[in-house]
Structure 1
Amino acid sequence: MKNIASWDDALLDFKNYMRLERSMSDNSIEAYLRDVERFRQFLALDNKKTEPLAIQANDIRNFLIYIAELGMSATSQARMLSGLKAFFKFMMYEHQLSIDPTQNIQGPQIGKKLPEVLEVHEVEQILAAIDVSKPEGIRNRAMLETLYSSGLRVSELIDLRISNLFFDIGFIKVIGKNNKERFVPIGEEAIKHIGLYMKHVRANWDIQKGSEDVVFVNRRGSQLTRVMVFAIIKDLTLKAGITKSVSPHTFRHSFATHLLEGGADLRAIQEMLGHESIITTQIYTHLDVEYLKQVIKEFHPRS
């Protein structure tokens, strides 16, 4: 047995153990390593320099709270915990870890209410239920593409400004909670449908004073309300035959979950959502905008 001080060494040994001693498939090995790497990223985001042998149960619990807050499904949470349990069991056996920090950690409770998350095909079903032969349908398609493409809150969607659309570089500027600004990548599908709406619908409506710079307006030319967006999504969900309770926030949770489960970096998702850490209440490290664009392009289902 040997003591391993660094994550890189521990992960390399864990990989070799799974391949040589357990004869696991490449896909399974990559999945386990990805789960542990997510946890390692979380520790870095929380400014913790904790090495593998110093991990405590609270570190694991805080990580599970974090991924639940992002909207990760109970099944995925349980799978990720399973990966961590396998890693620390290996550390107990191979590297003289005295206490397994995952030993008394339970997966998400079955009765606990978790945020609804749409499957990718369910998002497609809702989008397909929109009647784009009508002006409102063209607008609604643009709205939902934007929600899902950029993970916006409903308040951020209805407050989105034309002057904050930077389609030439693939970004929009969003005014979030407490008037904090952030730049978020926006996908090509959303850009396309916003363009169609602006050209063929909004340009033909009489825009009311005060709404001249608002992207999404109603037929009377006034800014949409939160209630109207909720009603539109509820109606489309019924038409699509989906029985889940779906709201604008469901699209935000789905955005985060699909990126996370697709392999995107935790820091990038945190940055795009405009979240404050639920553990430290500090804004996470700012990332280069080109990196955020690359995350969307590589991991978002509709890119």
Structure 2
Amino acid sequence: MLIKSALLSAIPGVRHGFSTRLGGRSAGPYATFNFGRDLGDDDAAVTWNLRRFATLAGFDDREREIAQLVQRHGNTVRTVPASPSSIAHDALSDTRGPPAEDQAEGDALITFEPGMPVGIRTADCAPVLVACLDDTEQEVIAVAAIHAGWRSATQDIVARAIEALEAGGAHRAHMKAAIGPTIGASAFEVGEEVIEAARKSLRGRTPPMHASLSASGRPCLDLPGLVLAQLEQLGFAKDAVDDVGHDTFSEQSLFFSHRRDAGLTGRQLSAIAFGSR
């Protein structure tokens, strides 16, 4: 089962999806729609899940590979296509093995290549998908998938991805972004150092937080709210951003949550591609 952004779905030529945990073949703590290959799940099940995601997202035959990275909660942005050794393309076939050891690290992927899906994995962090239109807003020219956990978000991963898109010829005035399922503010208890890092990323503004402190008296960060504030700070109009609004922590039947499940859990996949069919 995928969740789709109404904003991105309205753009001709864009195909995308934010996965839930429903509809796959994984078992145990990874049941059922897991996309993390390095967690202990059955590799054949993950391969089947990837193929199913591609079908549900509307990816066609030339889009049978989803470019992904080894995610490090940093601010490195990679561009696809790249040399085969630098980006791992997750081939959707039964013969697919574990990711290569030299798979590139990073937390955002961008592409100007039609028919090249890019994706990131999450289990509480904020997934952000971006579509860039040309100056006439008639055609899509690039897309991005961004992994925005609090560490990446406070290291400006969103801004760096937008800047990389602009370096390739896109303009932020013609970009649309969707924030996928993320841990809700009420469950995202953090330390003051995280709040301070978020404040710095917003140029001194107080970051969005839950109205009440946690039971232990600590602040609770609104992570999707932080990403939204960063996009607005980057010049995105309110109608250019869509927050799909799901809480990975509280919606246990729908989503994996690293915090709720103490790390023993699967990963959602968020991916996007563009181009006429």
TM-score w.r.t. the length of structure 1 is 0.25
The structure that is strand-richer by fraction is 2
Query: Which structure has the greater CA radius of gyration?
Result: 1
TM-score w.r.t. the length of structure 2 is 0.27
The structure that is helix-richer by fraction is 1
